[in-house]
Every structure is written in C-alpha cells, then in structure tokens.
Amino acid sequence: MSTALTLLGAFCGGAFFWTFCEYVLHRWFHVARGSNLASSEHLRHHARRLYQVSAISWLAWAGVFIVGLGALPVIAWILLPYPLALAIGAGWVVAYFVYEWIHAANHLWAPRTAYGRWTRRSHFHHHFGAPMKNFGVTMPLWDLVFGTYESPSAVAVPRRLAMVWLLDENGAVRPEHRDDYAVRGTRTEIGPEELVDAFANRVPTAA
C-alpha cells in the first residue's frame, strides 16, 4: 500500500508541476510575440473564432509525450527511483491533456458547472479583455502568485470572435450567459487586423 501511495503522490506531483508549466509556457507564448513556431501558433489561436486542431497541434502533443515520458523521468531519475520518476512524468502528461480538454471545452461548449463557468470567464477575459493576464487556464494559482490574475465582472466579446455557444439565433447573448458576457460590435467577418492585434498582445477592437 505504501508503494502505491508513493507512486500516486509522485503522479499528483507531476500533475501539479504541469500547472506551473502551463502558466510559464502560456505567458512565454505572449512575451515572444510570434517569434517562434509555438508562440506564432498560439497567437493565431487568439485571432480565430473556433478552436482548431492543426498539424502543429499534433506536433505539440508528440512533444508532450517525449518530454513527459522521456526527458522528465530521466531528469527526475537523478534523484528518485525510476518508477517514481516515471510516475511524475505520467502525471505531467495526463495533466497536460486534461488542460487541453478543458481549453477546448471552453471554446466549444457552454459551461455546465461553477468551475466551467469560472474557467470560461477567466480564459475569455484573457482573450478579449487582457491578453497579458490570466495565463492559467485550469487554475488561478500561478497568476495569483505572479500578480497576473484579474477577475472580470463581465467579459465583452467581439461579435466576430464570439464563442459558438454564446449567442442565440438573433445574435444576442443567451439569457443564461448575460451575467458573465456582453457582445460588442456589429461585424461578423474576421479580418487581417485580428492577427496584428494578437501578435501585439492588444485587445481586439470592438468594431
């Protein structure tokens, strides 16, 4: 039993370490302003309406497995028995894919729980209100530690970038989301200025 608990603790430690990496990587993508492939792909995500899986996504997922089940256990093996090192890496990988699922869910489906409501409001404040705030998607801990957390009263969403679940057939915010969101602007087409704003870490215009 003690061995199983130790492995579980190592797995949870690896998962917790991912939350720190989630924050650092997300912040770095914005600081880099598109100067590398990962940063560029992330900022392009800010200029799209829909969550998309691209060839670069598959490349990133392969990298997660290589780091989490290859490099990270080898590094941890310096200090720990290999089974514990591997458990840390496995926790890190699983936590990454939990993050990826939560991120996709934010964009694709309306919230159904209090946690889902929080993740969406926090994340879309990052998208539409303060690109250099709220880098943590799954939890606010590291934003609180590093002073980058903001809790918006409501998120103003440009109509052309509105999430697929936000608006009704008349283009108005659905009643169940009106406490958390407002839609602004009249345009429905996404233009080239979206990329310019995203790469400059600017709030999208309200036009």
Count the Cβ atoms, other than its own, within 10 Å of residue 119: 21
Instruction: Give which of 61, 43, 185, 18 is closest to 126, Cα–Cα.
Output: 43
Instruction: Give which of 152, 121, 128, 124 is closest to 202, Cα–Cα.
Output: 128
Q: Report the predicted TM-score, pTM, of the whole model to 2 decimal places.
A: 0.92
Q: Are 70 and 79 in contact (CB under 8 A)?
A: no
Q: Determine the pLDDT at residue 122.
A: 98
Give mean pLDDT in consecutive 10-residue pieces for the chain, a chain of 207 residues.
Answer: 87 97 97 94 93 83 86 85 92 96 97 97 97 98 98 94 96 97 93 93 87
Q: Determine the pLDDT at residue 177.
A: 98
Between the alpha carbon of residue 133 and those of residues 15, 69, 99, 115, 200, the distances in Å are 23, 31, 18, 19, 14
pLDDT tens string 63-118? 888 988 888 888 888 888 888 999 999 999 999 999 999 999 999 999 999 999 99
Distance CA 9, CA 88 (A): 9
